[in-house]
Amino acid sequence: MRSLAVKLAALPLALWAWLLARPALADTGGIAERTAEDVAQSLVNALKPVLMPVGALIIFAAVAWTALKLIMTANNPQERARVMESLPYILGGGIALGAVFLLAGFIIGLAKGLYQ
């Protein structure tokens, strides 16, 4: 463990090194200014290629799972009816997901029109 004298001697040296580094960091130009439109567009461009296939995969998996359950319950009418009750929820989820993407596109388009 270091003694107190070593820590006290190192403190001014560390402070001096930090102060010398500050102007060099300020001269690099820093972070460029961006408008809200640029940030929103870059966010949409980054998330759209990821979220749309994920949404499609989720809907496909739900339909495939329901189809598999329908095949497995072919001889039991009560279980088959229960499985078929989930189909409207899958359809509603797909429509809701599409509506969210449509609404997001509308809002972004409206925001672009307001700030131009």
Q: What is the tens place of the pLDDT at every residue in 34-54?
A: 777 777 778 778 877 887 888
Helix, strand or coil, per DSSP, at residue 85: coil
pLDDT at 12: 80
Q: Are 94 and 59 in contact (CB under 8 A)?
A: yes
Question: Residues with Cβ < 8 Å from 55, sequence gap 6 or more?
Answer: 97, 101
pLDDT digits (tens, 9 = 90+) for 56-115: 888 889 889 988 988 888 888 888 888 888 889 888 988 888 888 888 878 877 777 766
Which pLDDT score, from 0 to 100, does residue 30 have?
A: 60
pLDDT higher than threshold 70 for residue 22: no
